[in-house]
Copies of this chain bind each other. A is one copy, B any other.
Amino acid sequence: MTENKSILSVPALLERVETIFINAGCSRQQAAAVARVIVAGERDGCKSHGIYRIEGCLRTIKAGKVVPDAVPVLEVDDSAIVRVDAKSGFANAAHEVGIPALAERAKELGLAALVINGCTHFSALWPEVEAATEHGLAVIAMCPSYATVAPAGGSEPLLGTNPLAFGWPRNGNSPYVFDFATSVAARGEIELHRRAGKELPEGWALDGDGNPTTSPEQALAGAMLPFGGHKGSAISTMIELLAGTMLGDLTSPEVLDYLGTTTLSPHHGELIIAFDPARFSGQRRGNPLDRAEVLFEAIAGQGARLPSQRRFNARAKSMSDGIELTAAEMEQLERLRQMGLGSVD
C-alpha cells in the first residue's frame, strides 16, 4: 500500500495548510497560526486534531462565526492578568500574541494569567500549554465548549466537554503534559461508535429523557456524562465559572445558543495560568525541575505511562521521517486549496 502514501516534511505540510486558509480569506497571521496547530496535531499522530479539522474551520468561516482576518489585541497593565482580545478570530493567533507576554509577566510576578476573549477554538489545549513550558513555566489551561454534558445527578446537556490541560517543563526533555476532556468520552468517540454500529460502554451518556443509555444515537440526542462522576462534574463546573463567567465570556450553554449547532467551532474565552517554579520554590530543597524528575522516574519505574508520551514519540518520528498522508488525504488537501470555502456546505 506504500505507493498510495505520500510523505511530506513538516514545513511542506505547513505551507499547504496555510495556503488553504489564505485561499479561504484568512489573513497571513490567522492562517499561519491555525496551520501550525493543525500540522502539530498531524505531526504528533493526533489525527482527530489534524487536517481532519480543516473543513470544520472553513465551515465556521463560511457561516460568519469567525473573523478570518481578525487582528488580536494584546492588553498588558500592571496587574497579573495579560489579556488578548481575539476580535472573534481563531484562538491560535491570539495565543501566539499572548503567550510571550504571559511568560514575561509570570517571570516578573512569579504567577500570571492569560485571558483570551472572543476566540473561535477548535484545537487541543496542549499547543499553548507546551508553548508556555518552553519559557520554563508550569501552566494550567482550560476553556468551556458547547452544552453537551449533563452535570452529575442531572438529566440534560448543560456543561461542555470542557478540556483541562497542564504542563510542566523538563530540562532536556519534552514537557510533562496532559490535556483531556472532562466528559467521559469526546463527542467524536460517540460518533465513531455510531458509524461502527457499536454500543457505548455504560456510564458514557444519557438519552433524551435523562436515562442511562448505551445507544450512540440516543446519546447524541441526549447528553454525555462527566468523567469521574460528581468529581469530574465539579471540575467541569469550575471551568464554566473560571473560563466562562469569570472572563466575561460565554459559558457552554451560551456558546450553543450563539452558534445554534455543534457542527461549527465554538466561540468563547480561555484561561491560561502560568507559574514560575523557580520563584515559587524560593530555593527550598533544591531545583524543583530536578526534584520533579524523581517523581517522573517513580511513575515510569512502575510501568505507568506519562501522559503525552505517545504523542512525543510520534513527533520524533515525524520530525525525522516526515508525515505520512494517504492518497485520499492528499486529494482532500488539494481540493480544499483549489475550492476554498466552495468546498464546504
Give A contacts to B, CB under 8 Å.
79-81, 83, 108-113, 115, 117, 138, 140, 150-156, 158, 164, 166, 168, 176, 178, 180, 182, 210, 227-235, 237-238, 240-242, 244-249, 251, 253, 273, 275, 277, 279-286, 288, 291-292, 294-295, 298-299, 302-305, 307
Contacts and interface: CB of A to CB of B under 8 A. Distances in A.
Number of copies of chain A assembled together? 2
B111 A79 contact: yes
Chain A interface helix/strand/loop/mixed: mixed
B138 A246 contact: yes
A305 B291 CA distance: 40
18 contacts: A80-B80, A80-B111, A110-B113, A150-B302, A155-B303, A166-B235, A210-B302, A227-B229, A228-B231, A237-B299, A242-B275, A245-B292, A246-B280, A248-B281, A248-B285, A248-B286, A251-B291, A253-B295
Nearest to A289: B245
A198 B154 CA distance: 30
A229 B80 CA distance: 34
B299 A154 contact: yes
A154 B295 CA distance: 13
Contacts of A242: 138, 275
Nearest to A115: B280
